[in-house]
Amino acid sequence: MKPSQARIAVIGLGYVGLPLAVEFGKHYDTVGFDISAQRVAELRAGTDRTGEVDDLGVSPRLSYSSDLDDIRSCNVYIVAVPTPIDDNHKPDLTPLISASRTVGQVISAGDVAIYESTVYPGATEDDCIPVIESVSGLRFNQDFFAGYSPERINPGDKARPITKIIKVTSGSTPEIADFVDGLYASIIPAGTFKASSIRVAEAAKVIENTQRDVNIALINELSMVFSRLGIDTSDVIEAASTKWNFMRLKPGLVGGHCIGVDPYYLLHRSEKAGHIPDIIRMSREINDGMPREVSRRLVRAMIDKDLPVRVGGHKASRIISFSDADISFQQQLGIYGQVKGFAPVAVRSNNSYSLTKNTHLAYVGRIDFHAKDCGRLIDIAGELKKKNHPPILIFTTDGENSPGLKKFTELSVSRGVVDQFDFIYNCEDKDKIYSEIKILIMPSKKESFGNAVLEAFSYGVPVLAASYAPGPAELIGSGNCGLLLDDMSGPSVMAALNRLTDQDYLQMSSRAFDHHKNFSIEAHLDFLEGVARDVIRDFDGENRLPVLPNLKLIEAMKKS
């Protein structure tokens, strides 16, 4: 097959797959495939929520689909799906294996499967190709072939789009390597580099971010040393940078989809091969520990300057009652309600969620038409009324005469849905309330954390929230404990709920209940203890901050 004969399917339309599909769609018949029908609908409407592509209309030969039948006629399948890590920092190939099964269902003799996802050396041929063989019944390098061309997208970087970054390519045979290289060269003006094998190309990609992680870790560790020596790290870097071969990096936090993830893939494969890569491992530990290091320095600097340390924003006491001493200690450290970005939740031992008892939709929070976007609840109620659905429970701390509640009631009456709400004004029997909730609705536009979400999780209640509300989105997405919607209008919410089966509800409930344990008082106290010990070490016995009594309190609380 020649590149000019390619009919391309790009599987996965995230920040990697979409720009690639757009470029191929300028020159080849291309189908952008994604399992999310909502994502496909958005792209067909000309909207890219990732912001990577400004104009989706520049590719006349590109179409979008979530239907497998629409990619059966393709002969080149490019997989561009995420490769995350699990809670134990081990590679999670679930999206990649799932995409490989998809390819196996549609691939034909003579076709080529190309992978772009970042993996450890050997993953394409050892983990992905066997899945395609098993599903399709075809034989690798006899009936079908493979290539690997690692993504090099720099998300959000408009100065260096995909067309301006040299593309590494590879193939499972010399002929396929030439084909893959020619295919990419036709859309990448910056050029291509043909690696000697798929494994070489995989290794080249994974060390790009590993090298950066190691270099940043060195600077971060040096900054820890200089901090304790009373030396300004920025001044040191400025002076050292006067030599031409000094690599100018600055200390800081390391996150994102790549640098904080990819080294774990190489660690995993290296350990499996019998070698423990100490530098890579320690670099990850250093960079993962930087949030606490930054917190320690901030606390120390504020105390040194006798600055008042104010209480943070999250209302931790809404979830669990702290002793006055514990709250005082958090306030002194300036981390009250901000520890690890979460407020601790009282861990419950049993998940009592049951579809025979949990029947209501519910909202928990104050009635607000701006940040909380409570007007959406009235829209949703209108859709529920058409289905003769039980009323929405409104569990609010607002008084019955509050302005927000008054406006909410007036609008509900004018829309004819006031009978679709049951209001609860106190929380004396939370067990009874949550035993009636089937799913919690959080329409908030702005929610910095989402204590109500965690509280629902502790009862096994899944949550439906807006994908653009950072706090709930992070909690729900990290544990797959509910639904995240880009559109919180009544029809959109009802459509999402109608797609859920009883099994879906039960699975989300189980995941939500398990996830709430990650935000326990024990986790909270572990972090507090660590920060306390850091501050004690910093002050070398100076009694300017009453930390020691509070550390003993923490230790006692952990034992109780």
Active site residues: 258
- When computed from its CA atoms, the radius of gyration of the chain, rounded to whole angstroms, is 27
The separation between CA 349 and the C-alpha centre of its own chain, rounded to angstroms, equals 27
* 20 token code pair: 């690639």
The angle at the Cα of 162, spanning 72 to 219, to the nearest 5 degrees, equals 125
Alpha helices (runs of H) in 230-310, residue ranges in sequence order:
233-240, 262-272, 278-288, 290-304
How many Cβ atoms sit within 10 Å of the Cβ of residue 232? 11
Rounded-to-integer distance, Cα 1 and Cα 398, Å: 68
Q: State the chain's maximal CA–CA distance in angstroms.
A: 76
Report whether 382 contacts 392 (CB < 8 A).
no
- Burial class from Cβ neighbours inside 10 Å (0-12, 13-18, 19+) for residue 222 reads middle
First vs last C-alpha separation in the chain: 70
Q: What is the DSSP string of 46-110?
A: T--TTSS-S-GGG-TTEEEES-GGGGTT-SEEEE-----B-TTS-B--HHHHHHHHHHHHH--TT
Question: Which phi and psi (to 5°) does residue 113 adopt?
Answer: -105, 125
Distance separating alpha carbons of residues 3 and 192, to the nearest angstrom:
15
Between strands 62-65 and 437-442, the pairing is unpaired
Surface-to-core class of residue 197, CB atoms within 10 Å of its CB (0-12 exposed, 13-18 middle, 19+ buried): middle
Query: Quick one: 86 exposed, middle or buried, by C-beta within 10 A (0-12, 13-18, 19+)?
Result: exposed
Cβ atoms of 380 and 451 closer than 8 Å: no
Q: The tokens of 373 are what?
A: 């976007």
